[in-house]
Amino acid sequence: MKKIIILAAVSLFGLAFSAAQADENTIKESIAKSMPTMKVDTIKPSEVKGLYEISVGSNVFYVSDDGKYLIEGHLIDIAAKKDLTEGKLSESHVKAIKNLGVDKMIVFKAKDSKYTVTIFTDIDCGYCRKLHSEIDSYLAEGITVQYIFFPRSGKDTESYKKAISVWCADDRKTALTAAKKGETLKEKTCANPVDEHMKLAAEFEVNGTPTIVSEKGVVYPGYLPAKQLVEMLKGENEPK
C-alpha cells in the first residue's frame, strides 16, 4: 500500500510538472509571436493560480496560463497586507546593478562605509547638482555613492556628450564635480558605458533624476538630503 501511495504521489507530481511546463511553453510561444522584441528571462508560477510571473530585465509582469493576457502592475496579498511584487522588483534591481558592475560607475566611497546607493544622475539636472554639492555630507554619514548617467534629454544631446566627456576624463570624479558646477569640460570621446546606463534607466522606469537605489534594490525617486536618506536606509534593515 505504501508503495502505491508513493507511486501515486510521484505520478501526480509528474502531471503537475508537465502541466506547468506546457503552460510555460504556451506563454513563451504567445510572447514570441505577439511581442518578439520582449526578452523574457524567467517564467514561473505566481502565488495566484492560473497566473505566471515573468521577469523581463528589471521588470516583473504577470501572464495568464493560456498566454492570452499580460498584466502590468503589483500583486497584493490582501490578507497579509503585503506587496508581493515589490520585493521581487527589488531583487531584480539588485541583480541588474550587480551585472552592470562598479567598474562602469563613478564611485565616491565613504571612509567608513555603512551603506551604498546607486544614483541615476543627469549633469544638467538642478537637484542632481544640489545632491552632488552635498556629497561630503553623504560620505560623512557613511553612504558610498555610485553614479550612473541618465541624460534625460536623450542620446546625442549636450547632456549626453557631457556624460561621455566626464567618463573619458583622466580624473572622472574631478570632472564630474566640475561639470555639475557648470564648468565647461573639454569634449572627449572614448569607449564608455553611457548607453548601458540609459538602457538600465529604461528598465528601472526612471522618469526623473536623481533616482536613488539602495543596496536592497529599493528605489527612492528624487533628491533626499543625507540625514533623511540615512534614516531611510536604516529603516530598510530594521525587522519588519
Is the domain of 30 the same as that of 75?
yes
The answer to whether 190 is a known catalytic residue is no
Average pLDDT over residues 158-171: 97
Is the domain of 150 the same as that of 220?
yes
Residues 23, 65, 128, 129: which is the catalytic one?
128
Residue 208: predicted pLDDT: 93
Residues 77-135: pLDDT tens digits? 898 888 888 888 888 899 999 999 999 999 999 999 999 999 999 999 999 999 999 99
Domain-located, residue 95: no
Mean pLDDT is lowest, of 14-18, 68-72, 80-84, for: 14-18
Is the domain of 53 the same as that of 167?
no
The DSSP result for the chain, as a single string, is -HHHHHHHHHHHHHHHHHHHHHHHHHHHHHHHHH-TT----EEEE-SSTTEEEEEETTEEEEEETTS--EE-S--EETTTTEEHHHHHHHHHHHHHHHHH-GGGSEEE--TT--EEEEEEE-TT-HHHHHHHHTHHHHHHTTEEEEEEE--TT-TTSHHHHHHHHHHTSSSHHHHHHHHHTTPPPPP---S-SHHHHHHHHHHTT--SS-EEE-TT--EEES---HHHHHHHHHHHTS--
Is the domain of 148 the same as that of 208?
yes
Domain-located, residue 133: yes
Total number of domains constituting the chain: 2
Average pLDDT over residues 212-237: 94
Is the domain of 33 the same as that of 131?
no
pTM confidence score: 0.78
The answer to whether 129 is a known catalytic residue is no
Domain boundary among 51, 86, 121: 86
Query: What's the pLDDT band for 213 if we cut at 50, 70, 90?
Result: very high
Mean pLDDT is lowest, of 7-11, 117-121, 236-240, for: 7-11
The answer to whether 136 is a known catalytic residue is no
Is the domain of 108 the same as that of 74?
no
Is the domain of 143 the same as that of 79?
no
Domain boundary among 59, 86, 113: 86
The answer to whether 172 is a known catalytic residue is no
Is the domain of 184 the same as that of 222?
yes
Residues 122, 168, 172, 190: which is the catalytic one?
122
Domain-located, residue 155: yes
Query: What's the pLDDT band for 214 if we cut at 50, 70, 90?
Result: very high
Is the domain of 72 the same as that of 108?
no
Is the domain of 179 the same as that of 81?
no
Residue 11: predicted pLDDT: 43
Domain-located, residue 93: no
Is the domain of 110 the same as that of 222?
yes
For residue 232, give the nearest of 115, 103, 58 by alpha carbon: 115
Residue scoring higher pLDDT (102 or 26): 102
Residue 65 has pLDDT above 60, yes or no: yes
The per-residue pLDDT of the chain, averaged, comes to 87
Domain boundary among 33, 51, 86: 86
Domain-located, residue 174: yes
Residues 23, 65, 129, 152: which is the catalytic one?
152
Residues 44-61: pLDDT tens digits? 888 888 888 888 877 888
Q: What is the CATH number of the domain that holds 29?
A: 3.10.450.70
Is the domain of 127 the same as that of 229?
yes
Q: What is the CATH number of the domain that holds 204?
A: 3.40.30.10
Rg (CA), the chain: 22
Its domain, for residue 154, covers 102-236
